[in-house]
């Protein structure tokens, strides 16, 4: 237990722990201090100076996010001097910021906008040159408009610290500083994995997803098109936040109802193909165990993760499961199995995905993802973008009656919904593998050892005498740790789950803002709640999946499965730059 330090904050006597920052001490005492470059997921940057406070005896105002508490410290968080300083800083930012708030993608969610209001900025006294750099639209996932950037470097920090990718840096110096890939290249030219974690942490509209809403609206209003939508597991545990609901609100039924109101012909569930993934991937694991194939087998559901391993660890590609992600399995089946079954011309089917993810946008456009003979998934909307469309359609999501997914591609189990959480694919796979291998019924399906928010987690599963070691990692910096262990021959895992984003898909780059571990934990709880409330909780018990095998695929890893549900990976040779 750290030593207690006695402070005065705004005249109140307050106790804090030694080693805390002034900001932490204030938060603990319930005193609000505005912040901008500070982010709870990231290291301290201390550059925006919005969180400055007045500390008695100090000549300068001190950044509370970086300033450690000390015994007897007398702090004023909102003195006239502090308020004037904060206002001036916001004015300086606004003087170099496009006046586009009303049409900005981040309108009403922008932290700069909120601070301007909150700090009483009613005019901008400064004027002069403004940053004018081209918008980077080079890729399907992330659009970068650096004219709106305030150089808080949250994006840089998340890219380097949490993801260990390092695609973006500060280029140039001083007033000309621009956050960009090295040498001011476009994102598509560098090692960006398109995870979108930068977007999740951007306080302004400088970063956003590449939004296909207009195309989706057009498809929806085209009577010739049969437009189906699939929703990823993590979306239902977060989309409510876009409508003002608290983090952790589970809105599966309301979301389905909203999508039906928007005019989708069928509302399906990516959970269906998540169950299917378990059967394919579980069997792939068993096959590799039996035949001495490459181990550990590593999951392949997370497209940001796939981009990462293709860029940084191409020699370890044989470890990846050959399974496509559930999104892409869905697309391939929608335009083959479903089209056949319903007698719909697949060229008229439009597959829309709602994903917590921006890398899914890139994934859907990969040339490998056309095994139906068409682009398997046509449009990928993030959770945020889907909510935007719902609002545009006048849908009041929180107050809708629950709707139900359509069949057959809307049928799923609890094992599928937990794909949204880190450790979920592992848990779902173990539920099935255990029963397949042992022939026994798994009584307690909740495998707590693989749950949680620890960056890397290990578990050993007893398959009736055969011990299988498994590991789970989320966030690419953690994935790197496991890959390095495998590279050094220090890992004896049979099965590894990697999710690109912190917390898994519930923390994906397409999810609502803001994000923090606290918020991600609440979303994860919602996902687990959905699982525990379901009658079927094991993928191999999904009747629609069993029917699919019977009617169409034959068996797991069949020729047809390979054709439609599996893929190959390619080593990428784009330039890498290290911090």
Partner 1 sequence: MPLYRSHILVCTGTTCVLKGCTAVQSALIAEIKRRGLENEVKVVETGCLGISEKGPVMIVYPEGVTYCQLKVSDIPEIVEEHLLKGRTVSRLVYTGPVTGEVKPAHPGRQKEQRIVLKNIGIIDPTSIEEYIAYGGYEVLGKALTQMTPEQVVAEVKTSQLRGRGGAAFPTGIKWELTAQAKGDNKSVICNADEGEPGNFKDRLILEGDPHCVVEAMIIAGYAVGAKTGYLYIRGEYHQSVAHTEKAIADAKAMGLLGKDIFGSGFDYDIKVFKGAGAYVCGEETALIESLEGRRGESMVKPPFPPTQGLWGQPTVINNVETLANIPHIILNGGEWYAGIGTEKSKGTKIFSPCGDVFYPGVYEVPFGITMREVIYELAGGTKSGKPFKAVLVGGPSGACVGAESMDKTFAYEDLAPGAGALIVMDEDKCIVDTVNNCLKFFVHESCGQCIPCREGTKRMYEMTKSWTEGQGEEADLALMQALTSNLALTSRCGLGQVAGTAFATSYKLFPDEYLSHVVGAECPTGKCTMTNGGGKNNG
Which string of x and - marks every residue 168-187 that binds partner 1 (by CB under 8 A)? --x-xxxxxx----------
- Residue 113 beta carbon to partner 1: minimum distance, rounded to whole angstroms: 16
* Three-state DSSP string of 123-143: CCCCCCCCCCCCCECCCCCEE
Residue 155 CB burial class (10 angstroms; 0-12, 13-18, ≥19): buried
125-154: contacts with partner 1 (CB under 8 A): 125-126, 128-129, 150-151
How crowded is residue 399: how many other Cβ atoms within 10 Å of its Cβ?
8
Stretch that binds partner 1, among 38-46, 455-463, 485-493, 566-574 (CB under 8 A): 38-46
Residue 44 or 344 having the CB closest to partner 1 = 44
Cα 159 from Cα 307, distance rounded (Å): 14
368 catalytic? Reply is yes
- Give the nearest distance from C-beta 61 to partner 1 in angstroms: 5
Contact 319, 326 (CB under 8 A): no
571 in contact with partner 1 (CB under 8 A): no
Q: Is 195 a catalytic residue?
A: no
- Give the C-alpha distances (Å, rounded to integers) separating 49 from 78, 103, 204, 265, 446: 14, 28, 17, 51, 46
d(CA 64, CA 20): 10
Minimum CB separation of residue 167 from partner 1 in Å reads 17
51, 67 contact by CB (below 8 A):
no
Q: Within 13 Å of residue 349, how many CA atoms lie on the same side as its CB?
A: 28
Q: Give the residue, chosen from 23, 25, 89, 257, that forms a contact with partner 1 under the rule CB under 8 A.
A: 89
Taking the complex as a whole, the smallest distance from the CB of residue 171 to partner 1 amounts, in Å, to 10
Tokens standing for residue 231: 């929703």
Q: Which of 54, 242, 284, 385 is catalytic?
A: 284
Question: Nearest approach, Cβ of 118 to partner 1 (angstroms)?
Answer: 17
Judge whether 363 counts as a catalytic residue.
yes
Q: What are phi and psi of 320, to 5 degrees?
A: -65, 140
Distance CA(483)–CA(504), nearest Å, equals 18
Q: Which is nearer to partner 1, 153 or 260 (CB)?
A: 153
286 forms part of the interface with partner 1 (CB under 8 A):
no
Tell me which residue of 514, 553, 544 sits closest to 40, measured CA to CA.
Answer: 514
> Whole-number minimum distance, CB 44 to partner 1, in Å?
6
Q: Exactly one of 505, 530, 539, 561 is catalytic; which is it?
A: 505
Number of residues that bind partner 1 (CB under 8 A): 36
Residue 298 in contact with residue 425, Cβ under 8 Å? Answer: no
Contact status, residue 481 vs residue 467, Cβ threshold 8 Å: no
Nearest to partner 1 of 152, 232 (CB atom): 152
> In whole angstroms, how close is the CB of 149 to partner 1 at the nearest point?
12
Does residue 242 have an active-site annotation?
Answer: no
- Residues sharing a CB contact under 8 Å with residue 342, sequence separation 6 or more, in sequence order: none
- 62 in active site: no
Interface with partner 1 in residues 39-78 (CB under 8 A): 44-49, 52, 60-61, 63, 66-68
CA-to-CA distance for 534 and 546, rounded, in angstroms?
18
Whichever of 49 and 574 has its CB closer to partner 1, that residue is: 49
Q: Which residues lie below 8 Å from residue 429, measured CB to CB, with a gap of 6+?
A: 278, 281, 282, 285, 495, 497
Name the minimum Å distance from CB 124 to partner 1: 11
37 vs 274, beta carbon nearer partner 1: 37
For residue 152, the minimal CB distance to partner 1 (Å) is 9
- Catalytic status, residue 161: no
Question: Mapping DSSP to helix (H, G, I), strand (E, B) and coil, where does residue 339 land?
Answer: helix
Q: Is 504 in the site for partner 1 (CB under 8 A)?
A: no
Instruction: Report the residue number, 173 or 290, with the smaller CB distance to partner 1.
Output: 173
Nearer to partner 1, 156 or 390 (CB): 156
Active site residue 454: no
Closest CA to 141 of 332, 335, 355: 355
Our finding on whether 486 is near partner 1 (CB under 8 A) is no
Is 301 an active-site residue? yes
Catalytic residue among 363, 385, 427, 435: 363
Query: Is residue 123 a contact residue for partner 1 (CB under 8 A)?
Result: no
Per-residue b or e along 547-559, where b marks 16 or more CB atoms closer than 10 Å to that residue's CB: ebbeebbeebbee
Q: Is 93 in the site for partner 1 (CB under 8 A)?
A: yes
Between 64 and 542, whose beta carbon lies closer to partner 1? 64
The pair of structure tokens assigned to 421 is 């959480």
Residues in contact with partner 1 by CB under 8 A are 44-49, 52, 60-61, 63, 66-68, 81, 84-85, 88-89, 92-93, 95-96, 125-126, 128-129, 150-151, 170, 172-177, 579
Active-site amino acid positions: 281, 284, 301, 321, 360, 363, 368, 505
């Amino acid at each position: 237990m750290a030593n207690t330090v006695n402070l005065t904050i705004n005249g109140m006597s307050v106790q804090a722990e030694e080693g805390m920052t002034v900001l932490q001490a204030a938060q603990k005492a319930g005193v609000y201090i505005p912040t901008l470059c500070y982010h709870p997921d990231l290291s301290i940057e201390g550059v925006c100076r919005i969180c400055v406070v007045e500390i008695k005896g100090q000549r300068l105002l001190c950044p509370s996010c970086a300033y450690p508490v000390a015994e007897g410290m007398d702090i004023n968080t909102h003195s006239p001097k502090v308020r004037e300083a904060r206002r001036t800083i916001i004015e300086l930012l606004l003087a170099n910021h496009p006046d586009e708030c009303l049409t900005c993608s981040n309108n009403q969610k922008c932290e700069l906008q909120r601070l301007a209001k909150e700090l009483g900025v009613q005019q901008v006294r400064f004027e002069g040159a403004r940053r004018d750099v081209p918008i980077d639209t080079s890729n399907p996932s992330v659009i970068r408009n650096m004219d709106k950037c305030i150089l808080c470097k949250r994006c840089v920090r998340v890219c380097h610290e949490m993801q260990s990718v390092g695609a973006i840096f500060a280029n140039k110096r001083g007033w000309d500083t621009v956050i960009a890939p090295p040498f001011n290249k476009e994102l598509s030219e560098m090692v960006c994995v398109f995870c979108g974690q930068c977007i999740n942490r951007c306080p302004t509209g400088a970063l956003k997803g590449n939004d296909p809403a207009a195309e989706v609206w057009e498809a929806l209003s085209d009577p010739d098109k049969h437009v189906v939508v699939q929703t990823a597991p993590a979306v239902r545990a977060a989309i409510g936040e876009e409508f003002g609901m608290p983090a952790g609100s589970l809105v599966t039924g309301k979301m389905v109802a909203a999508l039906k109101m928007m005019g989708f012909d069928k509302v399906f569930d990516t959970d269906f193909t998540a169950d299917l993934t378990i059967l394919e991937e579980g069997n792939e694991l068993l096959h590799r165990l039996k035949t001495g194939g490459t181990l550990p087998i590593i999951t392949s559901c997370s497209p940001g993760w796939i981009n990462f391993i293709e860029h940084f660890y191409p020699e370890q590609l044989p470890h990846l499961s050959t399974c496509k992600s559930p999104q892409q399995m869905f697309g391939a089946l929608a335009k083959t199995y479903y089209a056949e079954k319903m007698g719909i011309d697949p060229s008229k089917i439009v597959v829309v995905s709602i994903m917590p993810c921006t890398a899914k946008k890139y994934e859907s456009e990969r040339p490998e993802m056309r095994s139906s003979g068409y682009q398997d998934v046509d449009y990928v909307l993030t959770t945020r973008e889907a909510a935007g469309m719902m609002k545009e359609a006048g849908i009041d999501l929180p107050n809708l009656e629950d709707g139900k997914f359509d069949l057959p591609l809307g049928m799923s189990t609890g094992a599928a919904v937990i794909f949204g959480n880190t450790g979920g694919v592992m848990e779902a796979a173990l539920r099935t593998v255990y029963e397949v291998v042992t022939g026994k019924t798994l009584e307690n399906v909740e495998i707590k050892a693989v749950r949680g928010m620890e960056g890397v987690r290990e578990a050993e599963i007893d398959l009736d005498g055969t011990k299988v070691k498994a590991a789970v990692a989320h966030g690419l910096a953690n994935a790197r740790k496991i890959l390095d262990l495998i590279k050094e021959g220090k890992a004896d895992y049979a099965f590894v789950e990697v999710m690109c984003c912190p917390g898994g898909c519930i923390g994906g780059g397409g999810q609502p803002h803001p994000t923090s571990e606290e918020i991600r934990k609440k979303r994860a709880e919602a996902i687990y709640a959905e699982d525990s409330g379901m009658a079927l909780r094991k993928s191999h018990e999904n009747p629609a999946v069993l029917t699919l095998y019977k009617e169409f695929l034959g068996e797991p890893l069949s020729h047809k499965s390979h054709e439609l549900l599996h893929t190959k990976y390619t080593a990428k040779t784009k330039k890498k730059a290290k911090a």
